[in-house]
Each structure stands twice: as C-alpha cells, then as structure tokens.
Amino acid sequence: MAVTGADVIKAGKGRFDDEAEADEKVAQVWDAVRSYCEWHIAPVLERVELIVDGSGSPILQVPTLRLLAVHSVLEEGEPVDPSRFMWSADGSLRKRVGCWTSEWRGVELVVDHGLDDVPALDGLVLEVATRALIAPAGQLGLRVGQIDERFGATVGGFAFTASDYVKLDKYVIPAEG
C-alpha cells in the first residue's frame, strides 16, 4: 500500500480535509524517512544510476539494503567486467582481485534496487503525516478536563518520535568501518 492523502484524511477522522495538503505532508514524511535511512527504500527502481565514492577496499557499499540487479559498473569512467566482482542483495559489491578506487564519485553503477512494499514504513508515514496535520498551527497539545492530547513535537511540521526511530532503524544503511 502506498500511503495517499486520502488515507491520511481518513485517519484524521474529520479533523482536516485538504487532500492536496495531505498528499504534500505524505511526500515530506517519505522524504524525511529516505533522508534518515540514506537510501530510496521503496518502491523498486529499475535501471537507476548511482554514483558513489570509491571505498579503496575490496568491498563497496551501494546505498541500498535490497539490491536486485547490477546492470553495469564504471570505475573511474572505465567499464568493470561483471566477472571481476560479486554482489550481494544487501548492497555490497566485492572485487574478486584488488580494491575499488578510493576516488570520490569514482564508481558509477546502473542497478535495480528497493522494496516493492513496506507495510511497516507505510504505517509510520501514515501516523506521522496524520499527527502533523492534526496539530493546529502553533499548538503542541490540548488539555480538556482529564484528557491531555499531544499533537507532536514541532509546530507547523513534524518530528519523529523515539518509537518511530526504532521502526526506521531497521532500514538504515549501516555505517562503514
């Protein structure tokens, strides 16, 4: 399921009805998810060009956690024969002999990567976008009698909660080294 503005409006239970604004908030939350995780995640992208810094070691990590195909590799502008490296679905490429260049932006790849569907992240995007749109401008919470409702940690935007980060951390590319 790809989250839409209509989904966010439904989850908001009548508190807002601007579908264009809801679509924009969904896009903003997905952008923040991808920025935090440092890769595209979903949906699957086919024949996308990635330019990455060379690792200077036998292993090169491509910014993905689900590599589906490697169509071509250029190292410092020169084609790399597919028999000279192996690749793993986790996004790592291993040179059979020698090391990858250490040049910044030294490796260009054409790959298929990403996930078809990520229900856990769709749910998170829906929750965060809904929270952001429920929060009245300038108001972080509301207390009526014994009921205390918190809208979010920011005004006019959104913020991930600690439990959101726990869900996101499963999709973060591990740090090198």
Q: What pLDDT is stored for residue 83 in this prediction?
A: 98
Residue 10, CB-side half-sphere exposure with 13 Å CA sphere: 6
The whole-angstrom separation of Cα 80 and Cα 77 is 9
The model's pLDDT over 71-113, given as tens digits with 9 standing for 90+, comes to 999 999 999 999 999 999 999 999 999 999 999 999 999 999 9
pLDDT band with cut points at 50, 70 and 90 for residue 57: very high
Q: What percent of the chain has pLDDT over 90?
A: 72
Residue 144: strand, helix, or coil? strand
Residue 111, CB-side half-sphere exposure with 13 Å CA sphere: 30
| CA distances in angstroms from 5 to 12, 13, 125, 136, 158, listed in the order given | 10, 13, 11, 18, 16
The model's pLDDT over 112-154, given as tens digits with 9 standing for 90+, comes to 999 998 999 999 999 999 988 887 554 556 566 776 555 555 5
